[in-house]
Amino acid sequence: MAYERARLLLIFQVSNPKIAAGVALVSPSSPTSPCLVARLDQLTDLALWEAELAADPIVVESALMRRLATVPDRRSACGRRHPLVVILTLTACATLVVGGDSVAAIWQWAARTSQQALQRLGAHRDPFTGRFTVTSERTFRRVLARLDADALDAAISGYVADVTRQAAPMPQIPDTPGPIEREQRRVTQRQITHPAPEGLLPGAALDGKACRGARTAQGERIFLVGAISHEHGVILGQCQVADNRVRHHQPARRPGRARPAQPLRTPALGRRKSSPLVRDVTFREDNSQVRTGTAPRALAGFRNLAISTARLAGRTNIAHARRDLLAHNDTFAVYNI
């Protein structure tokens, strides 16, 4: 009986090469062997599962995942099981939650993701157990340390730009039932007593800091500079610079004379705290032990994303907003996953 099932399934697969890709069934020479019958049953079930998955795939429309999918995967194709976009999305969601300040904490949060959420993400499915799996902490570290950091920053800033220009849904963070948080109440009152003047042009400020303890391949310190919107307080973009001095090129007063470089200083952002200050105080960035490769810059980018997400959701107190996302489903819902 199992032999006939295998033959029929093999014929079905040959006639439909796009269904059950990667499963090859071979007619056994001794079909009555119990071991071979069990193997054939297992291969048949796997092929049927592949056919059902191909016929009815689950597609998640997430603006963040669409942007993160543009980051190139530098890993070798040999032995690669876990999609890069899934690892990056889990990192982004875990960083948004209170306590997700290290790679170990990010992996611990990701490891508790439900099967339904992993299926929506498109996570790797174990062909023998049938369960969706999360990669190891070691893989998280290795992936973050070997990323295309420029592409990641572009993907994160692209998502923020999509939301600000209403090309993507505004993130929603649920409030804890009870009185309004103190900082949120103060900001709301200030908006009433000190409204912004009409016709105010959009502006941005530069802010930056050094990643403590991190070094480039040449042994130099890593300096990150970000552009912060005055209107929303979100981080519009981030880049790595050679040192902590910003060079301005302006028309010279005399031929051959240029304005000397000015040190980068943290600008006054009004009621909103600067991005490096929030990363240090709320995310404990200076206590991070991540030092190698692109991991320090990548984690800084994900922290910028968390800050921007909370502010786009109308939350002033970033720490309070992170505590409101203890449930996994609430966190994934922020990015429509």
Task: Express each pLDDT in 218-239 by its tens digit.
Answer: 778 888 888 888 888 898 989 8
Per-residue pLDDT at 66 = 96
Higher pLDDT, 279 or 318: 318
Separation of alpha carbons 69 and 154, rounded Å: 12
Q: What is the pLDDT of residue 14?
A: 38
Q: Look at 159 and 54; give whichever has higher pLDDT.
A: 159
List, as own/partner pairs, every contact residues 210-216 make where C-beta atoms lie below 8 angstroms and the sequence separation is at least 24, other chains included. 210/244, 211/285, 211/296, 211/297, 211/300, 212/285, 212/286, 212/288, 213/288, 213/289, 213/291, 214/290, 214/291, 214/296, 214/297, 215/291
pLDDT above 90 for 104: yes
Confidence grade of residue 264 (pLDDT, cut at 50, 70, 90): very low
Lowest mean pLDDT, pick from 206-210, 257-261, 266-270, 331-335: 257-261
Looking at the predicted structure, is the pLDDT value of residue 193 above 90? no
